[in-house]
């Protein structure tokens, strides 16, 4: 935190699981654990940045345990570093550490395409700490076995599969109807 002038130590409480109320008002559990059952378990999610929505892998959750730390959340509330420190203010925000994709991908695209490829960015440049309020919802990610481990496929959320296939069947039925009419003429 030395970039904002704070050079004192601080403690955080880290978590491997966080239950978040998603945009559809359902509680969703997100996991980020390096070795729960002999292998890693890092959930994927959609993240709302101010300028776009993109996919990300969650690497952990934390809250600041030390009072008086000038966190981004407190500084964005127009508190000064001195005021935060002297009033011993506490940031109660739950944060997620994420590893984001190189380009944006939103739910509308997934709804239209059903499956979309995405690539996780450079580890040093695409790691972010975000407020969990910016997690839009869960994401099903499947490894792309024909590529490196950072290349994955995102799948349309299960709750939208019925609508996707209904639209697909209607589109195919209309195409078949037009083709049949052409043959009859």
* 182 is a domain residue: no
Q: How confident is the model at residue 130 (pLDDT cuts 50, 70, 90)?
A: very high
Strands 27-33 and 41-42: antiparallel
* 77 is a domain residue: yes
Counting the structural domains of the chain, the total is: 1
* 164 is a domain residue: no
User: Cα(66)–Cα(147) distance, rounded to whole angstroms?
Assistant: 43
* 168 is a domain residue: no
Note the pLDDT tens digit of each residue in 55-69: 999 999 999 999 999
Whole-structure pTM value: 0.80
> How buried is residue 20: exposed, middle or buried, by Cβ count under 10 Å (0-12/13-18/19+)?
buried
**Host domain of residue 103:** 2-157
User: Cα(66)–Cα(112) distance, rounded to whole angstroms?
Assistant: 45
* 170 is a domain residue: no
* 106 is a domain residue: yes
**Positive or negative: CA dihedral 72, 76, 80, 83:** negative
What's the confidence (pLDDT) of residue 24?
63
* 167 is a domain residue: no
Are the C-beta atoms of residues 86 and 47 closer than 8 Å to each other?
Answer: no
* 55 is a domain residue: yes
């Amino acid at each position: 935190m030395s970039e904002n002038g704070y050079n004192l130590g601080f403690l955080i409480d880290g978590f491997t699981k966080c239950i978040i109320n998603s945009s559809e008002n359902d509680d969703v559990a997100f996991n980020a654990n390096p070795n729960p059952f002999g292998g890693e378990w890092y959930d994927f999610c959609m993240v709302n940045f101010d300028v776009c929505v993109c996919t990300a892998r969650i690497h952990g959750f934390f809250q600041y345990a030390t009072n008086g730390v000038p966190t981004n959340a407190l500084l964005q509330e127009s508190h000064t570093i001195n005021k935060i420190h002297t009033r011993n203010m506490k940031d109660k925000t739950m944060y997620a550490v994420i590893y984001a994709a190189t380009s944006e991908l939103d739910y509308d695209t997934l709804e239209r395409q059903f499956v979309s490829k995405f690539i996780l960015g450079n580890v040093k440049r695409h790691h972010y700490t975000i407020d969990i309020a910016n997690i839009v919802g869960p994401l099903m990610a499947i490894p792309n076995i024909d590529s490196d481990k950072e290349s994955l496929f995102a799948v349309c959320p299960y709750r939208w599969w019925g609508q996707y296939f209904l639209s697909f069947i209607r589109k195919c039925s209309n195409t078949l109807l037009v083709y049949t009419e052409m043959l009859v003429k």
